[in-house]
Amino acid sequence: PFTDKSNSKNKSEIETWEKSNHMSLIITKKAIPKSFWSTLYENINIIMEFLTEIEKRFVKNEKFEIGTLLENLISKYMDNENIKEYIIEMSHIVQELSKALLVHLVPISLSTQFGQFKVSYNY
């Protein structure tokens, strides 16, 4: 928005920013299927706000994903499976687990006497 105190350089920068913001918003909205839109998205006119709202709605639940990977990792080999495929699958799971593995593995491995510790860390 322009003010009386805006000089021509500021006006030019603001116009450039508004044009860039508008184009970014159009391109981003075109890339997202309408089924994911909500009325909230239609009222947002700044690209960073739009992307922030999208991120809020599609945040991964990292704790759940790591828990699932750990369950798969510690699952037992079934005799009817191909051992080579089983080992390859286990190695892929290990690669997906990051350094955060210990953060999730330690609470899972603790006995019930550490229940309060688990509650403190939402486990």
First to last CA, the chain: 49
Instruction: State whether 22 and 66 are in the same domain.
Output: no
Query: Does pLDDT of 19 surpass 90?
Result: yes
Nearest CA to 98 out of 121, 70, 61, 78 is that of 70
Q: Which two tokens stand for residue 11?
A: 């006006």
Is 3 among the domain residues? no
Claim to verify: residue 72 and residue 110 sit in the same structural domain: yes
114 occurs within a structural domain:
yes
Residues 27 and 44 in one domain: yes
Same domain, yes or no, for 12 and 51?
A: yes
> Could you please report the per-residue DSSP string of 12-72?
HHHHHHHHHHHHHHHHHHHHS-GGG--HHHHT--SHHHHHHHHHHHT---HHHHHHHHHHH
**Same structural domain for residues 75 and 44?**
no
Find out whether 110 and 118 touch, Cβ atoms under 8 Å. yes
How many folded domains does the chain comprise?
Answer: 2
Quick one: 51 and 86 in the same domain? no
Q: What is the pLDDT of residue 123?
A: 58
Give yes or no: residues 96 and 53 share one domain.
Answer: no
Q: 88: domain range?
A: 62-120
pLDDT in tens, 69-118: 778 777 776 777 777 887 788 778 777 776 566 666 667 766 677 777 66
Residue-wise pLDDT for 38-71, tens only, equals 666 677 888 888 888 877 776 666 777 777 877 8
- Is the same domain home to 42 and 69? no
* In contact, 50 and 28? CB cutoff 8 Å: yes
Question: For residue 3, is pLDDT > 70?
Answer: no
Between 96 and 11, the more confident residue is 11
Identify the band that residue 4 occupies on the pLDDT scale cut at 50, 70 and 90: low
